[in-house]
Amino acid sequence: MGEDLNTLPSQWDELVPSWTAFHNRVRIVGAEVAERYPNGDPLLLHHTIDNGDVWFYTGEWLTSAGDQNPRQILRGLLEKARMVELNPPTDQIQSFVHTRDGIAIVALLNHGQAGFPQGFGPKTGSWAGTVTIRTTGLGLVPQKLEVLGLDEEHASHQLEFTREDDRLSIRLDIDELAQLAIGPEGDTKQILFGSD
């Protein structure tokens, strides 16, 4: 790490130095500058290693350069990394994505039916809409894919979907939980369960 530099000088620097926001001046080796501070120093660095990405933030605090910049940066990064999109958008559905053996398993949990906190709160009901899943980020590249819906007894059934480029869209009604398995057409069930 390099020297600490005052990111946002203020009238309080001399009175209360701990309120001052600092960032580290870094020497860049193999990374690209994704964002810069107003003075031109690197704010956010990006480096690709194998199949992953490393993002390095040079500030002392996430809001070292003000709070608008981190919001834009994080929103952009999260949008690029998003695997599951809901329409209509909602914050009551939580998605989990797991990949293994060439398939993806997607769980969609409806917190609106959980009655938080501790099951005593109000329930907002089921969610109905379109779930869109980006297959590229999941490593699903076969030309022909299938989507299986999984029930509580782990039985599977084919779900209809549309595909546009690397996006699969499925209409779902989610009461408490929806589970999907996505994989090569005709092979997903075998890969998932190990039998027909």
Residue pLDDT, tens place only, 96-140: 999 999 999 999 999 888 776 667 778 888 999 999 999 887 888
pTM: 0.68
Pair 188, 146: CB distance under 8 Å: yes
Pair 6, 20: CB distance under 8 Å: yes
For the stretch 137-154, pLDDT in tens is: 788 876 799 999 998 777
84-193: CATH number = 2.60.40.1180
Classify residue 61 by its DSSP letter: S
